[in-house]
A and B are shown apart, each in its own frame.
Chain A
Amino acid sequence: MKNKANVVVIGGGVVGCSIAYNLAKKGVKDVVLLEKSYLSSGATGRCGAGVRQQWGTKQNCLLASESMNIFENFADILQIKRDIELKQKGYLLLAYSDKELEQFKKNIEVQHSLNIPSVLLTPKEAKEIVPNLNIEKLVGAAYCAKDGHANPFQVTLGYAEAAQRLGVEINKFTEVKDIKTKNDALLGVQTNKGFIECKKVVVAAGGWTQNITKMAKIDLPIYSERHEILVTESVKSILDPMLMSFSYNIYCQQEPVGSFIMGYGPENEPHSYNMESSWKFLETMSKKATWLLPPLKNIRIIRQWAGLYNISPDRQPIVSQINQVEGLYVACGFSGHGFMLAPAVGILMADIVTGDKLTYDVILDLERFNRGEIIEEPSVV
């Protein structure tokens, strides 16, 4: 392991790997990435694997559509052979009230301003796309055929591979123990395998980000929360798009290999680092899923697990420098959407770290909470 670096990236999930790759691509030498376990062992490898562009704010739409462009051309852009299993069979967002449908209409206007090809559908049209869908109580739906699925492990490994080819040193099973500072500037990072002297550190440690920044005496306004998920055995294809409802609170998709993967947002879940599975989730999930998609009832659930959402005050990402410590940066608070935004976030963070003009016209800095500029994104599970 190098004992000196220009930039140390902490976190080997999709966001950390994307940042490391984009820094190297911009010509930054001696980038070192640290991951306490294996790559994608945290939130990335536990996520629902959905990639969508149907957002309600312009900046989320922009980051999502730019990310989708990269997913679509991943192997060419990164010059790698890895197949990320991109499946663009759409996201079908379900509306169960007129108010929800109105919101979808407004969102679609924003999406169209960025050429995201979303459309509003009647319940009958939704059923044409998903013949097995229970459309009882359904008022309407929004659909974008270009949304879909990608394999989070392969995307992360793709970024890691491309980053290494550009000179990034990736250290797996390397745990950060301390961040040394002096007079509000960085001295370096202490790991279980030695000390790395550096002036810049990017923390992209998912659910553990707030613990890492505490080592530099920075308290971030974010917390972590368990979200559970399950997967079924593989069966023949009966569901093309990702089904999602904000009010009924569910997401469910059939992966290219044929297994269904699904989850919902927990209620009254305490802030914690708990990643245990619960029986309650299995039961509630089963009821929700079989009501929405009745043929599921005969399919076997084979595995359930949990991961951490890292949640910010407005449930929107924080991609920012930290003013109190020169050279310290964070990419966190993705609130369950880090995977799908990671390609654009990597580019953005590389701009911030190198002091270049931002590639995207977005405001994701930490200071927005002090300025009272809370981002209001209506489309979050």
Chain B
Amino acid sequence: MDENKVIICRCEDVTLKEIRNAIREGFTTVEEIKRVTRSGMGPCQGKTCGLLIAKEISQMTGKPMEEIELQNIRPPYGGITFEEVTKGTITENDK
């Protein structure tokens, strides 16, 4: 398996190699790896890559999976356009 060709975070295009390098550098939490590599910063907020990264951390550090915290999932969860938020709510006072 070529680490360079395995994409872990599809939103931000982060490879397995980059994730493993970050763990080797001493970033052993999902939140830290997110900040170093941008994994989980895209539209899906790490719904796919979060678990994969946690598994990598577990394998490389020996820490049990259940002790590895996943990243925060933050609102607005699904991705919503500005227009969908503002529709029908703009009054003269807002301008």
Contact = CB atoms under 8 A, between A and B. Distances in A.
Interface of A: 38-41, 45, 153, 157, 231, 233-234, 257, 277, 279, 282-283, 286-291, 296-305
Instruction: Tell me whether chain B's interface is mostly helix, strand or loop, or mixed.
Output: loop
Interface residues of B, number: 26
Contacts of A298: 81-83
Given A286-B85, A302-B42, A153 B74 contact: no
A277 B83 contact: no
Contact of A303 (B45, B83, B89, B95): B45
B94 interface: yes
A287 B38 contact: no
A153 B79 contact: no
Nearest to B90: A287
Interface of B: 27, 29, 31-32, 35-36, 38, 41-43, 45, 72, 74-76, 79-83, 85-86, 89-90, 94-95
B83 A301 contact: no
A233 B85 contact: no
Nearest to A260: B82
A234 B38 CA distance: 12
Nearest to B44: A302
Nearest to B85: A286
By Cβ-Cβ distance, the 3 closest A-B pairs, closest first, are A286-B85, A297-B83, A153-B35
Contacts of B95: 291
B29 A38 contact: yes
Given A38-B31, A287-B89, A301 B74 contact: no
A301 B76 contact: yes
Given A300-B79, A303-B45, 17 more contacts: A233-B79, A282-B75, A286-B82, A286-B86, A287-B89, A287-B94, A290-B82, A290-B83, A291-B90, A291-B94, A297-B81, A300-B81, A301-B76, A301-B79, A301-B80, A302-B79, A305-B74
A87 B74 CA distance: 27
Contact of B86 (A157, A283, A303): A283
B22 to A, nearest CB: 11
Given A41-B31, A283-B89, A300 B80 contact: yes
A380 B6 CA distance: 45
A175 to B, nearest CB: 15
A257 B36 CA distance: 14
22 contacts: A38-B27, A40-B35, A153-B36, A277-B74, A287-B90, A288-B94, A289-B82, A290-B83, A291-B90, A291-B94, A291-B95, A299-B81, A299-B82, A300-B79, A301-B76, A301-B81, A302-B42, A302-B43, A302-B76, A302-B79, A303-B41, A304-B74
B36 A157 contact: yes
Nearest to A230: B76
A127 B91 CA distance: 25
Contacts of A302: 42-43, 45, 76, 79
A234 B43 CA distance: 9
A257 to B, nearest CB: 7
Contacts of A234: 42
B4 to A, nearest CB: 19
Contacts of B90: 287, 291
